[in-house]
Amino acid sequence: MKKLLLKMTTKKPISLLKGEQSQFPVQVVPGMRVVRYDHVRLVDINATNQNWGRISGVTTDGVFGIRKMIQDGTYLPQHFEPPVIDQDGNLIAGKHRYDAHDAEGEEYMWVAICEFDDDDARNTYANDENMRNTFKTMQKPEDFIFAHAQIVKREDKVSKTKNAVSNYIKRNYPQLPTNYPSRSKLAEEILIAAGVDFIPIEIMSDESIIYEYYQEYGIDIVEDPSYILKKLTGAKDLKRSDRWARLMRDLTDGISTGVNYTVITTFTGANSESIPELRKTCLEFYDDMIENAKKLITGQARKKLGSVNFVFTKQLPEDEVFNEIN
């Protein structure tokens, strides 16, 4: 990787002479490392179209506030997370501060020079830094959506599904700002911004299903045991899911005695593309259930039925390492 040759100012403010020891640290993200904190000439920083965390760029009010601090001598960057550039001189975060320095005719700006593994790390840091409450223009929800749409486009860290994006947000941002929409809504907006042909899906509550079914068919599904409300997963192989297996187990006794069930089904962790296929898979449920039963009956008739033996690992004080119960 080409390293930026940074020219140092010979007139550093006294407050910054201690350098890293007095510097509020950069809060790094995975795939990012601080190389050093330093003064860098503005002409050596590439700030053109380099706002990794905002969709709409800088605001006049944001720049003006920082300009006033520079004029008053109250701009003390060591007290805050500084602007960040990579080793090639690209500005990753701090465009308002860069523009304020430029407007005030400043030759140098105090920055953190950082190494990044990839563009996902650049987007993630820029987004996270914009969410922190320092003397800067705070990030808006549309900026969050913009930054993460870039990550989704690359598909290195997260796939182009609502469930994957929602889980990524939950894992990395367990506490979103109060003015942000829900994770589910953010995931939808991120997918749309990433150019994914995304159609939002609805997940009805049990209460809504019960009410609407009665309005449509005049049947109280709470009182009728032949009606089953079931949420099935679309996040993994449906036929191998625990919910699929539990549904088979729950319906076996009733079907074997002549009960005709209606399973009112909602898919979780699915998207508009997978739902039609998941519905087709459910049409195979009854046949699969009968086929599995036939296999057991056939094996028993031929006296070739296998067996199941449980071996229990040590959990109680008196246990051996492995335990069998006869």
Considering the domain architecture, whether residues 215 and 257 belong to the same structural domain is answered as: yes
From the centroid of its chain, how far is CA 326? 48
pLDDT value of residue 52: 61
Pairing verdict, β 32-41 and 108-116: antiparallel
Considering the domain architecture, whether residues 78 and 172 belong to the same structural domain is answered as: yes
The answer to whether 229 and 209 are in contact (CB under 8 A) is yes
**Statement: residue 9 has pLDDT above 50:** no
* Of 19-33, 50-64, 99-113, 266-280, highest mean pLDDT: 99-113
Domain limits for position 170: 14-193
In a domain, 85, yes or no: yes
Q: Per-residue confidence at 35, pLDDT binned at 50, 70, 90?
A: very high
In a domain, 141, yes or no: yes
Considering the domain architecture, whether residues 182 and 238 belong to the same structural domain is answered as: no
Considering the domain architecture, whether residues 92 and 166 belong to the same structural domain is answered as: yes
Considering the domain architecture, whether residues 231 and 141 belong to the same structural domain is answered as: no
Model-wide pTM > 0.85: no
Averaged pLDDT for residues 134-143: 68
Final residue before a domain boundary, out of 193, 220, 236: 193
Residue that has been written with the tokens 């407007």 in this structure: 103
**Statement: residue 15 has pLDDT above 60:** no
- What is the phi/psi pair of residue 320, to 5°? -80, 180
Considering the domain architecture, whether residues 83 and 189 belong to the same structural domain is answered as: yes
In a domain, 307, yes or no: no
Considering the domain architecture, whether residues 158 and 180 belong to the same structural domain is answered as: yes
Considering the domain architecture, whether residues 214 and 188 belong to the same structural domain is answered as: no
Averaged pLDDT for residues 126-137: 71
pLDDT value of residue 49: 57
Q: Per-residue confidence at 257, pLDDT binned at 50, 70, 90?
A: very high
Higher pLDDT pick, 176 / 5: 176
pLDDT value of residue 223: 95
In a domain, 325, yes or no: no
DSSP assignments along 172-233, one per residue: H-SS--TTS--HHHHHHHHHHHTT----------HHHHHHHHHHHH---TTT-TTEEEEEEE
Considering the domain architecture, whether residues 161 and 119 belong to the same structural domain is answered as: yes
**Statement: residue 100 has pLDDT above 60:** yes
How many structural domains compose the chain?
A: 2
pLDDT value of residue 5: 45
CATH label of the domain that carries residue 163:
3.90.1530.10
**Statement: residue 311 has pLDDT above 90:** no
In a domain, 316, yes or no: no
Q: Per-residue confidence at 275, pLDDT binned at 50, 70, 90?
A: confident
Interval 229-253: pLDDT, tens: 999 988 778 999 999 999 999 999 9
Write the CB contacts of 66 (distance below 8 Å, at least 6 apart in sequence): 75, 96, 97, 100, 135, 136
Higher pLDDT pick, 19 / 185: 185
The answer to whether 95 and 85 are in contact (CB under 8 A) is no
Considering the domain architecture, whether residues 185 and 280 belong to the same structural domain is answered as: no
In a domain, 311, yes or no: no
Tokens of 17: 């002479």
Q: Per-residue confidence at 89, pLDDT binned at 50, 70, 90?
A: very high
The answer to whether 228 and 195 are in contact (CB under 8 A) is no
**Statement: residue 54 has pLDDT above 80:** no
Considering the domain architecture, whether residues 236 and 125 belong to the same structural domain is answered as: no
pLDDT value of residue 249: 92
**Statement: residue 318 has pLDDT above 70:** yes
Considering the domain architecture, whether residues 234 and 96 belong to the same structural domain is answered as: no
